[in-house]
């Protein structure tokens, strides 16, 4: 085997897993495509010790710390194919190479599917957002909106008045119950049933939205919960089980981040219904330790189905 552990994904979860394994002096390869899910965000907030840094700066610092360990390699490449090889795993990379490892950590994250609405994609991660805890404070208590794509919009709209006057746009998608309307109104949420047709302002800034009837609603930020899917299909290739999350499927793992496939671990947004940088890093720490223990206590993968 070329490596003790191959980690597919070089963002917060993958690098945190690699750090634990590096400190155990294991030979580790981190594969990084350079396309993290958070690349659209100007700054990261709520990450202890890193509040206000850009995601790229945090990643660069983590990678620099990791590369000080001599048993770690970081390669700018993705994996096209993954297969079990008896004693471990073999990966075909998109740069034409093939690598093998005794254990495999999947941390390649998720992909967001955004609605096709004029002006929305140009603002994603700046003023069109998914997490008020990550980005709500910076909007300065100005008016905000929630674009309904599913029932999750009700949850977002109930939270957001703590960050600014809130309007819920039901978009002909959300049929509110009387109880939901009452709860939203008790929180001061305005409910707009006329669909949003366009986002306004000099992107990536947002000044408001235009409705189907021509009316405009001033907004500084628009929140939504997009559908999500794994950023690649390696888990499917390996036969990993999935769970149904609130926005899409994610890899099923146990408390130690072990998937349904022996020798395969998963961490970060890919293996959680809750996307969050701090949680991803913490999951990576746990995953790295779990993979290390597997090398010691479950060393013979060939005997496991």
pLDDT tens digit sequence for 157-206: 999 999 999 999 999 999 999 999 999 999 999 999 999 999 999 999 99
C-beta of residue 202 within 8 angstroms of C-beta of residue 254: no
pLDDT digits (tens, 9 = 90+) for 212-268: 999 999 999 999 999 999 999 999 999 999 999 999 999 999 999 999 999 999 999
Q: Is the pLDDT of residue 80 over 60?
A: yes
The residues near 214 (Cβ < 8 Å, ≥ 6 apart) are none
Q: Which stretch of DSSP H or E encloses residue 84?
A: strand 79-84
Domain 3-112+227-303 part of CATH 2.130.10.10: no
| Distance set, CA 272 to CA 12, 92, 149, 196, 298 (Å) | 14, 26, 20, 31, 25
Residue 305 token pair: 């189905």
Give 135-191 as a 3 state SS string: HCHHHCCCCEEEECCCCHHHHHHHHHHHCCCEEEECCCCCCCCHHHHHHHHHCCCEE
* Domain positions in the chain: 3-112+227-303, 115-223
pLDDT the model gives residue 305: 56
d(C-alpha 70, C-alpha 79), whole Å: 23
Nearest Cα to Cα of residue 297 among 263, 265, 253:
263
Look at the domain 115-223 and name its fold.
FAD/NAD(P)-binding domain (3.50.50)
2 and 29 Cβ atoms separated by less than 8 Å:
yes
Residue range 94-122: mean pLDDT, rounded: 96
pLDDT in tens, 127-143: 999 999 989 999 999 99
pLDDT at 77 over 80: yes
Residue 12 pLDDT: 92
> 3-state class of 89 per DSSP?
strand
Distances (CA, A) of 174 to 14, 37, 189: 37, 27, 15
Fold agreement (3-112+227-303, 115-223): yes
Residue 302 confidence (pLDDT): 63
- Compute the distance between CA of residue 28 and CA of residue 219 in angstroms, rounded to an integer: 47
pLDDT given for residue 303 in this prediction: 61
Instruction: Please give the structure tokens belonging to residue 262.
Output: 């022996």
Give me the torsion for CA of 262, 75, 231, 44, rounded to 10°. 110
Percent of the chain with pLDDT over 70: 98
What percentage of residues in the chain have a pLDDT greater than 90? 84
Q: Give the sign of the dihedral formed by CA 248, CA 155, CA 149, CA 33.
A: negative
* Assessment of whether the complete model's pTM goes beyond 0.75: yes
If you ran DSSP here, which 8-state letter would residue 211 be given? E
161 neighbors 187 (Cβ within 8 angstroms): yes
């Amino acid at each position: 085997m070329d490596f003790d552990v191959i980690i597919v994904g070089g963002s917060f979860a993958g690098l945190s897993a690699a750090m634990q394994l590096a400190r155990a002096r294991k030979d580790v390869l981190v594969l990084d495509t350079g396309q993290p899910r958070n690349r659209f965000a100007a700054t990261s907030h709520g990450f202890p010790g890193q509040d206000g840094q850009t995601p790229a700066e945090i990643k660069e610092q983590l990678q620099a710390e990791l590369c000080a360990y001599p048993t770690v390699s970081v390669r700018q490449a993705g994996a096209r194919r993954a297969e079990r090889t008896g004693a471990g795993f073999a990966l075909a990379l998109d740069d034409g190479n093939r690598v093998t490892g005794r254990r495999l950590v999947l941390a390649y994250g998720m992909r967001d599917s955004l609605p096709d609405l004029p002006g929305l994609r140009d603002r994603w991660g700046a003023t069109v957002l998914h997490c008020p805890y990550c980005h709500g404070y910076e909007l300065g208590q100005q008016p905000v909106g929630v674009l309904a794509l599913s029932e999750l919009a009700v949850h977002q709209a109930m939270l957001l008045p703590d960050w600014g006057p809130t309007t819920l746009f039901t978009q002909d998608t959300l049929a509110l119950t009387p109880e939901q309307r009452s709860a939203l109104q008790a929180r001061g949420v305005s409910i707009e049933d006329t669909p949003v047709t366009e986002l306004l302002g000099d992107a990536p800034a947002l000044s408001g939205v235009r409705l189907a009837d021509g009316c405009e609603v001033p907004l500084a930020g628009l929140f939504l919960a997009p559908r999500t899917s794994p950023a690649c299909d390696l888990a499917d290739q390996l036969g990993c089980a999935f769970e149904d999350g609130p926005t899409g499927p994610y890899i099923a793992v146990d408390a130690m981040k072990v998937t349904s496939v022996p020798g395969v671990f998963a961490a970060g947004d890919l293996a959680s219904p809750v996307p969050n940088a701090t949680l991803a890093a913490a999951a990576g720490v746990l995953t790295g330790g779990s993979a290390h223990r597997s090398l010691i206590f479950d060393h013979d993968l060939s005997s496991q189905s």
